[in-house]
Amino acid sequence: MSFSAAKWRGHFPLLAAHHDLHYLDNAATGQLCAAALDAITSHELTHRANVLRGTYRLAEQADAAYENARRQVAAYLNAADADEVVFTSGTTAAINLVAHAFGDALKPGDEVALSLAEHHSNFVPWQMLRARRGVALRFLPLMPDGRLDLARLDEIVTPRCRLVAVTHASNVTGAATDLAPIVAAARAVGARVLADGAQAVQHGPVNVEALGVDFYAFSGHKAFGPNGVGVLWGKGAALAALPPFLGGGGMIGRVTPGETTWAPPPRRFEAGTPPIAQAVGLGAALDWLRAQPWAELHAHTARLAQRLVGALAALPGLTFIGPRDMRQRLPIVSFNLDGLHPHDVCQVLDRHGVAVRGGHHCAQPLMEFFGVQGAVRASFAPYNEEGDVDALLAGLQDAMRTLA
């Protein structure tokens, strides 16, 4: 399959309908691909019923569609078993599930290791766990460009460590985390590892078996799928050892006045009616993505990001955030213009049809590390083209003229 950004863009109905939109906010949410939209529409029109409830034909078709989506997600992640895939409402819910189901068994003196580069979704739940259980939080330091400094792993991941929870890729700097030494350090002390994959999954299939982590979390809307659905993948043994986080229908073995027993994973963690149509849409999106020529897509988005990085370096008063070498990062480019508030810059860019995000990006500890309140962020997907970079640069010139 040969890659064309214009043809790829044609698989996204919103972008096909808005030819003047330069959408560069892909780290916040990707556009919905036609494969996902078609699957959702087809399901809702032909198979809409609750799962695990009915023995009639329509309900059985809904069951089949939902479980097929689980298999599609498992294939994208190279999971050993589809039952290692738990559907949630998103990355935040997936991480909170682990923070409760795994974390509530911890005791004072136990430690959880994080980094200062985490999204709030992989930061705040562990602070809440600290307040509930009295665990200690240890923080991996950062190098000046925002990458995790792994030289002090042995100091941070101690024999008291029970879990290491780190980003697979930063939503601010784009810096990709080398998980192998983190996994090795965790294994040496018997700790589990959770990777926040929210920024990684949209850049090609993930091999959780090769990564060696115990838990992996991501959101559907960042992977060109629907809102309202996400995934917690967990190794079979790791999931089986966890109690449920939420109680209700669908997650039980048997309920009596005296006690309740739990269904095996993944049902144990899917209380209530799950996001059925959204899961079907996510499965279709990942199935479509799995067939894409990812070497070409990676080269294309890296060229766009590298061109932007080079052009930004020539602008006066610009502060760049993150590593500049595209071999160490995803196509996410964050920066500031001296004296200009990121929100003001984004509003000027919007007048040029450029959609980027400004603010702290739910990563205030990382912003504090860089000594800034926020940043402008442009994030690329394969449907972006040179014209998107041109429009962004023209808009920045306008912002520098009008806001100075």
Q: Where in the sequence numbering do the catalytic residues fall?
A: 362
Q: How far is CA 183 from the centre of its chain?
A: 19
Q: Do residues 101 and 163 lie in contact, with contact meaning Cβ atoms separated by under 8 Å?
A: no
**Cα distances (angstroms) measured from residue 181 to each of 119, 254, 300, 355:** 21, 42, 29, 37
**Cα distances (angstroms) measured from residue 283 to each of 10, 114, 221, 291:** 20, 30, 12, 13
CA 100 – CA 116 distance, rounded (Å): 21
CA 218 – CA 172 distance, rounded (Å): 16
**Cα distances (angstroms) measured from residue 32 to each of 219, 230, 296:** 13, 14, 21
Token pair listed for 299: 């080269």
CA 247 – CA 268 distance, rounded (Å): 9
Token pair listed for 157: 């991941």
Please give the backbone phi and psi of residue 168, each rounded to the nearest 5 degrees, phi first.
Answer: -75, -30
169 Cβ contact partners less than 8 Å away, ≥ 6 residues apart:
175, 176, 177, 197, 199, 200, 203, 329, 330, 332
Element containing residue 41 per DSSP (H, E) = helix 34-46
Helices (H) and strands (E) counted in the chain, each on its own, are: 15, 15
Helix (H, G, I), strand (E, B) or coil at 236: helix
Question: If you ran DSSP here, which 8-state letter would residue 345 be given?
Answer: H
Q: Do residues 329 and 178 lie in contact, with contact meaning Cβ atoms separated by under 8 Å?
A: no
Question: If you ran DSSP here, which 8-state letter would residue 87 be given?
Answer: E
Q: In 94-205, where do the E strands start and end? A: 111-115, 136-140, 161-167, 192-196
